Structure 1
Amino acid sequence: MTARYDACILAGGLARRLGGRDKPGMLVSGRPLIESVAAAVPDAGKLIVVGPHRPGLPRALFQREDPPGGGPVSALRVGLAEVSAPWVALLAADLPFLTAGHVSALLDAAETGAVLVDDDGREQWLTGVWRTAELAEALARYEGRSLHGLLAPLAPARLHLAGQPWFDCDTADDLKRARSGEMGPGAQTRGR
C-alpha cells in the first residue's frame, strides 16, 4: 500500500543569520528543531532529509544536494527524487511549533498544494504540501533558485492556522523567543 504522503525536510542551509551554527540541531523545549519537525509527520511513508546525517532520526533517508548549501530549490530537486507517495510535505528543519495536526490540515486543504501563511498573510514556502507529480513537472521546467518563483505559480491553497506553525528559527532572537514560550500555541506575535 502506498502512503498518502512522504515528507521532505530541507536541513542543509548555511544558517548565516545564526553565524553558521547547526540550526536544525538547536534545542527548543529540550529537543533538536529537526526532531520536532520529523515528529510532525508521523504518517509519512518516507522521511527524507536533505542535509547532513543526524543520529536522532533513525527512520530518515539522508541525501545531500550538490553543492551542499546550494539553496532550497537545489535541495528540493534531490529530495523530490526520493518521493514515491502522491503527496509530499515540504518542510524547513527549524519549525518548533509545527504539529501533525497542522500537516493534516494542509493535506485536507490541498488540491494542487497548500501552504501556511503567517500572521501578515505571507506564504511560508517551507511549510506546505504538494501533489508530487505536479511539483515534479514544475521543477523540471524551472531554472530559477527561488522557492517563491517555483511554487507560487502552482496556486496553492493558503492556510492561516493557530499556534504559529510557520514560525521558524532563523536568528538568535527567534530561538530565544521560541525557547521562552513567547511564540507557539496561544501566543501573540510580536514584531514579526
Structure 2
Amino acid sequence: MVLAGGGARRLGGGDKPGVRVGGLPLIERVVAAVPDAVRLVVVGPERPGLPRAEFVREDPPGGGPVPALRTGLARVSAPWVALLAADLPFLLSGHLTTLLRAAGPRPGAVLVDDGGREQWLTGVWRTETLARALAAYEGRSLHGLLGPLDPVRLSLAVGDDGRVPWFDCDTFDDVSDARKRIPSVTDKR
C-alpha cells in the first residue's frame, strides 16, 4: 500500500508523488520496490504509469495517513502489507525483504533512521493485526497507532552514497539532494 494523497505543503502544494528523480516519478520508484505484491493499492488520485495499481481515495481526500491507511487496508487480502510513502526515492525491494524477514513472529517491522526515529511509512505489517488496531483506534497519528504494536525497529547501515531507504522528499532541498544521488537529464519538476 502506497500513501500518495498528501498536500505536499512543503513542496508548494504540488504533485509530490509525480516529482521526478532519476528520470522517474517518485511513486514509480516506490512501486518498483514491490514488484511481487499480490495487489498494489495506491491511496491517492489516479495517475498514469502504474497499470497494476488499484487507486482508492480516503475520506476526506487529504485527511491524513490514518484515514488513508483505513481506506487502503480495506482492499488488502494478503497476510502481510507493506505500508509505504510515495516519496521514497531510494527504497528497494531488498529493503522490504529485509523488513519482512526481521518481523518474524512480531506484528511488523519498521525502519528507523540514523537518528533512531521510526519511519512509519517504511514498514511491513501483519494485515490482521493492523486491521484490529485500526478498528480500535480513534486518533490521527501513525505513531499512536503503530507504536503500541511493538514492531521490530530495524536500523540499516548508511552507505557512502547516502541512499538510505527511509529518505523521503518532503522539501525542495530533499528533492535536490535525491537528484544529486540519482541524476537524470530528464528531471525538470
Q: TM-score, normalised by structure 1?
A: 0.90
Q: Which runs of 5+ in 1 are unaligned?
A: 1-7, 183-192
Aligned length: 175
Q: Structure 1: which amino acid aligns with 2:89?
A: P
Could you say which residue in structure 1 is the equivalent of 2:166? 166
Q: Is it true that 1:112 corresponds to 2:103 in the alignment?
A: no
Matched with 2:36 is 43
Matched, 1:74 2:67: yes
Matches of 1:124 and 1:45, distance apart in 2: 24
How far the C-alpha of 1:161 sits from its partner, in A, is 1.8
TM-score, normalised by the number of residues in structure 2? 0.91
CA RMSD in angstroms, aligned pairs only: 0.9
Secondary structure of the structure 2 residue equivalent to 1:129: strand
Map 1:32-181 → 2, pairs under 5 A? 32-110=25-103, 111-162=106-157, 163-181=163-181
State the shift of 1:19 in Å.
0.7
In 2: Cα distance, 1:44 partner to 1:18 partner: 29
Letter of the aligned partner of 1:20 in structure 2? G
Structure 2 SS opposite 1:12:
coil
Residue identity (%): 74
- In the alignment, residue 80 of structure 1 is paired with which amino acid? L
Amino acid at match of 1:169: C
Structure ranking higher on relative contact order (CA contacts 8 Å, 6+ apart): 2
- What amino acid is aligned across from residue 179 of structure 1 in structure 2? R
2:187: which partner in 1? Answer: none
Q: Which amino acid aligns with 1:55?
A: P
For the residue of structure 1 that corresponds to 2:35, the secondary structure is coil
Letter in 1 for 2:139: G
Quote the Cα distance in structure 2 between the aligned partners of 1:27 and 1:54. Answer: 14
